Amino acid sequence: MRTVRLPLAPPAELPSGTDLPESPDEEAPTRLMQIGDLAKETGRTVRAIHLYEELGLLTPAARSKGRYRLYGPESLVRIRWIGRLQEMGFSLGDIQTVVREWERIESAPGATRRMREVYARKLEETREQKRRLEQLEHEIQASIEYLDTCAAVCDPERLVGACSCCDLHEKHQRDVTVPELVQGFRARASRAKTKESSTAQ
């Protein structure tokens, strides 16, 4: 007896002109986009994308019949990669050097090892910058807390020249240390006060 297989559901209608793979193993056609669409997708300007091409950082996948540049999904990845490196502190010239070194090394392990060296060095620089920023954060926080006390205890009639040496914090805070960010503008107030005194004489 001949077996007849019935479909579980009717096939969905596709828009006319849709290209389907001839076999399950055939990949669907790559979607290409013009430079304006690429700029919109990546948040970059058309001028920036042209600059990437001039520096050899980006290459169009093809050209249309009208000779317009066409870009594939790999261009999205490349532009986002460029943006990420710029966030890490790389200039476009630095990125150009990285790309040229990558393309010059024929050995795959050698090329990947070189990229690892670049990233490892940047990681150490980033960690050092993070330490400096954390120190700066503590200094700013200490300065804000010190100045909050000024606002709470200082006499509104007190002149700014008196800020060069304050005796009010010691009464409200034990073992108080004047942050350098506060000492800086206090030193300016002190010099201004000394100048006014010498002028008066």
As its CATH architecture, domain 29-90 has: Orthogonal Bundle (1.10)
d(CA 28, CA 31): 9
Q: Using one digit for the tens of pLDDT, what is the confidence trace for 107-122?
A: 999 999 999 999 999 9
Confidence tier at 30 by pLDDT (50, 70, 90): low
Hey, what are 92's tokens?
């476009």
Give buried/exposed letters for 90-104 (b at 16+ CB in 10 A, else e): bebeebbebbeeeee
Count CA within 13 A, CB hemisphere, residue 174.
Answer: 0
Examine the pLDDT at 5 and tell me if it is beyond 90.
Answer: no
How many residues make up the chain in this entry?
A: 201
- Residues 6 or more apart from 76 whose CB is under 8 A from it? 38, 41, 42
CATH 1.10.1660.10 occupies which residues in the chain? 29-90
Pick the range with the lowest mean pLDDT from 11-15, 79-83, 172-176.
Answer: 11-15
Confidence tier at 77 by pLDDT (50, 70, 90): very high
Examine the pLDDT at 32 and tell me if it is beyond 70.
Answer: yes
Instruction: Report whether 129 contacts 152 (CB < 8 A).
Output: no
Confidence tier at 25 by pLDDT (50, 70, 90): very low
pTM of the model: 0.63
Confidence tier at 158 by pLDDT (50, 70, 90): low
Pick the range with the lowest mean pLDDT from 75-89, 114-128, 136-150, 157-171.
Answer: 157-171
Alpha-helix residue ranges (DSSP H) falling in 12-168: 35-42, 46-54, 73-87, 92-104, 108-153
